[in-house]
Structure 1
Amino acid sequence: MRNIIPQDTSNFLQLQKHLDKETDFMLLYPEERNSSIFLLQDNIQSSLKYGSLLLVIDDGNKLVGYLQASRGRYKKIHHSAYIVVGILAAAAGKGLGKLLFKELDCWARNNNITRLELTVMKSNKIAQRLYSKMGFKIEGVKHNSIFMHGHYIDEYYMAKCF
């Protein structure tokens, strides 16, 4: 596990595309993912410029997971960060999610982040268990948040405060 570097951009895009195809738990459908490496590189640089975090997991051959913590850009919310995480199915169940969240906690404490937040589909019980183990609490329900496969899906708002 390490911070993303500019040379990772192409591999990071491939990881995101793979996750989009592999699971319904990511936000985008595969055809919605922008394939511009230059745009992704600009987005990553802009995010990091504002003090956000982007960790990747490299198995030696390719990227197999990531955690992005997008810090609030405005002064009133600069203490908070919104989390997105994805791990390929082939790499799941090996404790990688827990490692990412432990590193996230260290980063948050070192950067005066006092609130971490995310949303998770109510049907994603595996992710909910991980988030709960890592100290996240359900704060509410985002009703009809996602429309997928012909029906609406609720999400939980979850957060961890330090």
Structure 2
Amino acid sequence: MEKCSFRQVAGFYQYNSRRMPGIFHQKDYKMFPPSVDWGNINWNTRKPQMDFPVQSVICSLEDVQSIKPGKVRISGYAVSGGGRGIERVDVSIDGGKTWMEATRFQKTGIPYIADGISNDKWAWVLFELTVDIPQSTEIIAKAVDSAANVQPEKVQDIWNLRGILNTSWHRVHVRIGHSNM
């Protein structure tokens, strides 16, 4: 690793402690409370959002998809900002009444450990779980990061004017019917 002088480190710190001058940081990455609407928005009252909360997404199933009853593989990804690892991903197949922990990995065949030295903290963590789905239901995924941050249950709890950082539980409705799955 290359050595840095004090002057280089001090310059880097000074640069990173200022507000970002780019157009995207001036408007696109700002979150406002529910009381703000397009008629009273003041872009200068908020700092840009430079971190993002824990989130997970189910990728193997689409919302309102028809599936055959039986074993179904649920898979997707989870990620958290600030270099925080993913401690666990919980999956529910009964609308959130009960939960099962999914298997996490970044590289096929290598278990993922949230604070493991060989895992990438700034990258997606893949998850999967195979479950028996006997009837139409709502499947939910929620992630928890290494700082114990958990996804909020409903979008209403985090709604804001621009809709950014909507990281509420990911929900997929499946119905039993004719399918190629």
TM-score normalised by L of structure 1: 0.23
TM-score normalised by L of structure 2: 0.21
Point out the structure with the larger helix share: 1
Q: Which has the larger radius of gyration?
A: 2
